[in-house]
Amino acid sequence: MITCSAPGKIYLFGEHAVVYGEPAIACAINLRACVSVEVASSGKITIDAMDKRANCSSEEFKYACCAAQIIKKLFETDFGAEITIRSELPPRQGLGSSAAVTVSTIKALTQSLGIELDNETVAKIGHKVENEVQGKASPADTFVSSTGGVVLVEETKTSHLAQLDMPIIIGATGVERATRDVIASVSDLRKKYPSVVSDVMSSMGDITRFGEQKLAEGDLVSVGELMNINQGLLESLGVSDVTLSRLIYAARTAGALGAKITGAGRGGCVLAITTNGKVDHVTQAIAKQGALALTTAISSLGLHVEA
Ligand code: MEV
C-alpha cells in the first residue's frame, strides 16, 4: 500500500479572477489530506472515505475517481484499486480539499504502478482532473497543493514567493457548495455584463500585483487592506453572502488586518490575517458567530509519499 498526503490552501488574493487569466496568490496551509492506495491488476475502483464506502458511480468521490480514470487513459493501463481517503480539511469549504485529494490520489496510484512523476507533473494532471470535474478550473489549487509554500499563479507560469510567517485564522461556515456551480454563476454574470465583470477581474489582478509587492516588503497592514478591497470585489460578483460577511466583519472588528472569503465562496470559509497579539481575539470573534475557527499557518511541505 502507498500513502501520499498533500496540503490544503487559502487564497490571499485573486480567486475567481485566476480562472480568467488574472494572477492570484495562494498559500498551502498545514492542514492535509491523506490518500492510501492498494492497486490490483483488475477489478473495480473502490473508495473508502470518512466511514463511507462507494464505487465510482458515486458523485461524492468524483475527484479521486476521475484521477484514476485519467491515469488509466494517460498511461494506457487498466487496474482496480482500493482508495482510502482521510482528511483534516473540511470538504467543499474552499480550502482545496479536492485538489489535495486529487494530487495525493494521482501520486499514490502512479507510485503503486511503478510510474515516477515529479510534483509539478502531478499538479498538471490534477489540473486536468479539476477541469473535467468542475467544468473550468485554474491551475492554482493543484499546483499549490503539490508544491507547498506561497505561490504566485499567472496565466502562463506559476512561481514561489518567499515563505511567510503570519498567523492565519480560518472561519468555516460548514455550508458546502460545489465550486463548479459558483464558477458557472460568475461566468453567467460575465456573459450578461462583459465589460463590468472584466473590469472587476482586472482590478483583482491589480490587487494581486500590489499584494505581491507588499508581501515582499513585509507590509502586512497593506496586505490586509488589499484583502479587504479584494473582498469588496468578490462581493460584487455575488460569491459572498450574509453569513460570510458576518464572519468577516466580526474578524475585522476584533483586530484582523484583513479578512475575506477564500476559494469559490457562497458558503465555505473566510480567512483573516492578524498580528500575533490579536490571534485569540479574532479566533474567538469568528467562533462566536457559530463558525468553526481554525488557527493555521503557511506550510512549505507539498505533496509527498508518507513513510
Ligand atoms: C476555488 O478554490 C478557486 C476558484 O478560483 C476556482 C479555481 O481557481 O479553479 C474559484
CATH of domain 2-162+300-305: 3.30.230.10
**What is the pLDDT averaged over residues 56-79?**
88
Contact 28, 9 (CB under 8 A): yes
Q: Of 48, 78, 118, 141, which residue is the catalytic one?
A: 141
Whole-number average pLDDT of the chain: 94
Q: Determine whether 141 is an active site residue.
A: yes
Q: pLDDT value at position 57?
A: 67
Q: pLDDT value at position 41?
A: 81
| Ligand 1 atom 3: residue of nearest CA | 263
| Ligand 1 atom 8: residue of nearest CA | 138
What are the residue ranges of helices labelled H in the chain?
62-74, 97-112, 119-134, 140-147, 179-192, 194-217, 220-236, 242-253, 279-288
CATH 1.10.8.640 fits 168-296, yes or no: no
Q: Does the beta carbon of 100 sit less than 6 angstroms from any atom of ligand 1? A: no
| Domain range annotation of the chain | 2-162+300-305, 168-296
Residue 156 burial (CB < 10 Å; 0-12/13-18/19+)? exposed
Q: Does the beta carbon of 95 sit less than 6 angstroms from any atom of ligand 1? A: no
Cut 0.85: pTM above it: yes
Q: Give the number of the atom of ligand 1 that is nearest the alpha carbon of residue 186.
A: 10
Using one digit for the tens of pLDDT, what is the confidence trace for 171-206? 999 998 888 899 999 999 999 999 999 999 999 999
Q: Does the beta carbon of 141 sit less than 6 angstroms from any atom of ligand 1? A: yes
Using one digit for the tens of pLDDT, what is the confidence trace for 104-142? 999 999 999 999 999 999 999 999 999 999 887 888 999
Q: Is the pLDDT of residue 163 over 90?
A: no
Specify the pairing of strand 45-49 against strand 80-87: parallel
User: How far is it, in rounded angstroms, from Cα 284 to Cα 266?
Assistant: 22
Q: How far is the CA of 138 from the centre of ligand 1 (A)?
A: 6
